[in-house]
Amino acid sequence: KVLATPRGRGVQCNAGAAEARGEILLFLHCDSQVEPDMLKKVERSVEAGASWGCLRLRFDDPHPLMAIGAIKSNLRVKWSGIAFGDQGIFMTKELFSKIGGFPAQPLMEDYQLSLNLKHIGIPPVQVDSVITTSARRFREGGMLRTGWQMHRLRHLYRKGTPPELLLEIYEKRRKP
């Protein structure tokens, strides 16, 4: 089913979740690829008690900087309980409803979702299944420069910069 929604990933994910009929929600970016047995592994994880989590990230670019970025992302899940959308976030529909879904903000919706869950003491489970995510943005914008920009945006967000202003910074950076 195709849904028409206003702009913004959080709003779009919430609309999809509202239409979903299953007990487990899975949020994927359209340029990501998953392993064939991923759904079974997510189901087993939930059956074993996980209420939310993500997959193990890998980028579609073999460059060593991209491999380091993926390792850092995977360790961030383990050490700080923060998962981002490009890691394929899954969650029980019950928990999703309980926390009110994704924040309806134009950027950092996945980060805030993780922070909200961390705040109430529910850590993510990282399922042993790889999600391969596009490194296009890093190739086009420069790997180090794009990585630095993403780090900077998260830092500004933690310091209280409104997501609307962060979106302006983000979009300016993406324009040639």
pLDDT number for residue 131: 98
Would you say residue 176 has pLDDT above 60? no
Q: How confident is the model at residue 175 (pLDDT cuts 50, 70, 90)?
A: low
Q: Average pLDDT of 6-32? A: 94
**Pairing verdict, β 125-133 and 52-59:** parallel
Compute the half-sphere exposure of residue 56: CA atoms within 13 Å on the CB side of its CA. 10
Summarised one tens digit per residue, pLDDT across range 81-91 is 999 999 999 99
Rounded Cα distance, 116 and 103, in Å: 10
Cα 3 to Cα 13, 28, 92: the distances in Å are 10, 15, 21
Q: Fill in the DSSP letter of residue 85.
A: G
pLDDT number for residue 1: 87
Q: Mapping DSSP to helix (H, G, I), strand (E, B) and coil, where does residue 50 land?
A: coil
Owner of token pair 């910074």: 169
Summarised one tens digit per residue, pLDDT across range 31-74 is 999 999 999 999 999 999 999 999 999 999 999 999 999 999 99
